[in-house]
Amino acid sequence: MRGGPKVLMLETTRSGEDLAELEAFLAALCPSSSADPMGAVETASEEATLVIFMASGEEPAMRVYSTHLPPEDLLCQLINRRLCEKVDNICPSPGTAVMRLVGTPEGLNLAMERIASDLNGTVGERPHNFVCPAGSRTVIYFTQNPLNRPLRMEDLSPRAVLVDRPCGEVLSHLRENAMDYLSLAMGGPDWNQVDIRIYDAEGRYDLHYRRLMGAIEGIDAGLVLSEAWGRDQAFILMSVPVYVVRLFTPLDPSEIKRMCMGLEYSPKGERWVDLDVICNGKKVSWTGLEHPGTRDSLGEAMRGELLGRMNQGGLKRLLEAEGELIGG
């Protein structure tokens, strides 16, 4: 899950010099603007603040300004520059949280109802504008699409949960209970949680991470729950840095091991990274995979199998990272 941009709605009936002064103030603080509010929301980052500026006087207009300044900083500058008298109305839109849920329609509805019950909220039709019913301080949207890219409105479920709690509190609750809600949406505890540990002696963790994310996307291997740096005991009295990606997956851990085996090898058949798969505290061994031959021949075979299964988006992401690895 992740948050959405903060939104301020600012309205004025002024025109002429007063209107020009307000527009100049916003343009100076906000590096980008758009005439399309929904398009601005779809492309805005979680850290962004959007100001929907509406002029309803003699020169009607509407623009959306985007900045990384928090709303309180914008309001302080508006007050300090003595511009408040030129503004007729300012109001914040509700906070937004977006959660990725994957499962059956029945499971998704059950998960939404549970979330609403746990947060004393209500399940209703997804708001189509920036105004929500009174008593709704946060809107929780749902999607089955990955959250590491911009989402369009059509990517969101037609139903949302409306909650009268601060957005930060709602996000904390969702993170703490994510596994329960995911299991409910998926219809049971048949999914597996595995850790994938990336180790590269050359230190090219970012590129191998991008390859791994491309593969996970490319075969729809599941949901990334968390990621963090850790240490792995390579030899006695020697530990090495590893980057750990925690994956919630419908696939058997052996299938994740097959994917990782394929990712360990370059297009030329050279082993260029270690990707260990840990499930229930135990390392999944490559020796349990059915394949006649050596470890290297298995890895090359798994690479061909993986690339043949991937969708175009994931494959493109993987190959772009490999191009940088080979070129570097």
Q: Please give the biggest Cα pair distance in the chain.
A: 80
What's the rounded mean pLDDT across residues 317-323?
A: 95
Please determine, for residue 313, whether its predicted confidence score (pLDDT) is greater than 80.
yes
What is the Cα–Cα distance from 172 to 139, expressed in whole angstroms? 14
Provide the Cα torsion 318, 319, 323, 324; round to 10°.
-20
Question: What local confidence, expressed as pLDDT, does residue 183 receive?
Answer: 81
Which of 117, 110, 114, 171 minimizes the C-alpha distance to 140? 171
Q: Please report, for the chain, the start and end positions of each structural domain, with discontinuous segments joined by +.
A: 2-92, 95-186, 192-327
Most confident of 57-61, 190-194, 198-202: 198-202
CB 185 within 8 A of CB 101: yes
* pTM for the model: 0.66
CATH of domain 192-327: 3.30.70
Which H or E run includes 90?
strand 89-92
Q: Which tops the pLDDT comparison, 1 or 142?
A: 142
Over the stretch 209-249, which tens digit does the pLDDT of each residue have? Answer: 999 999 998 988 888 888 999 877 655 556 788 999 999 88
- Sign, CA dihedral 317-311-228-244, equals negative
Question: What local confidence, expressed as pLDDT, does residue 199 receive?
Answer: 94
Please determine, for residue 131, whether its predicted confidence score (pLDDT) is greater than 70.
no
Over the stretch 102-128, which tens digit does the pLDDT of each residue have? Answer: 778 888 999 999 999 999 999 998 876
Q: Is 218 helix (H, G, I), strand (E, B) or coil?
A: helix
